[in-house]
């Protein structure tokens, strides 16, 4: 039962990141109209660095696809981890209204990392 729940949660998590990455390339989801001035400054700064948003998008897409598959979920979690830290810090420092969702995503990420901890041990030995 635990494996089925983990798969469903991982599927939704992965699809969310794939969608987010694809949106960075194709801009099919509109930006919120009530975005704070600080958030607008952050988004403008990120877009001014021409290579950064495509890099984040590729990491989200690849990490999301890997996160869905059981065999490569641990690798997907490592790829998504820095992106998720950025999301978490953004919502802590700039846009606290999105913090509950960011914390749920971070909790899922930690769950997957803990479940796959034996796969990470060779990296730190």
The domain segmentation of the chain, as residue ranges, is 2-124
DSSP the chain: -HHHHHHHHHHHHHHHHHHHHHHHHH--SPPPTT--HHHHHHHHHHHHSTTHHHHHHHHHHHHHHHHHSTTTHHHHHHHHHHHHHHHHHHHHHT-GGGHHHHHHHHHHHHHHHHHTHHHHHHHH-
Mean pLDDT of the chain: 94
Q: Is residue 85's pLDDT more than 90?
A: yes
At 89 the pLDDT is: 96
pTM over 0.75: yes
Q: Is residue 31's pLDDT more than 90?
A: no
Q: Is residue 33's pLDDT more than 90?
A: no
At 35 the pLDDT is: 86
The band of 24, judged by pLDDT with boundaries at 50, 70 and 90, is very high
Residues 95-111: tens digit of each pLDDT: 898 999 999 999 999 99
The band of 16, judged by pLDDT with boundaries at 50, 70 and 90, is very high
């Amino acid at each position: 039962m635990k494996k089925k729940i983990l798969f469903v949660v991982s599927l939704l998590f992965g699809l969310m990141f794939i969608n987010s990455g694809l949106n960075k390339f194709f801009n099919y989801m509109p930006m919120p109209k009530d975005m704070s001035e600080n958030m607008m400054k952050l988004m403008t700064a990120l877009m001014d660095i021409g290579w950064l948003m495509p890099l984040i998008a590729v990491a989200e897409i690849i990490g999301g696809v890997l996160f869905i598959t059981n065999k490569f979920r641990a690798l997907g979690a490592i790829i998504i981890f820095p992106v998720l830290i950025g999301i978490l810090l953004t919502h802590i420092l700039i846009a606290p209204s999105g913090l509950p969702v960011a914390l749920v995503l971070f909790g899922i990420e930690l769950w997957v990392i803990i479940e796959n901890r034996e796969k990470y041990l060779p990296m730190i030995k």
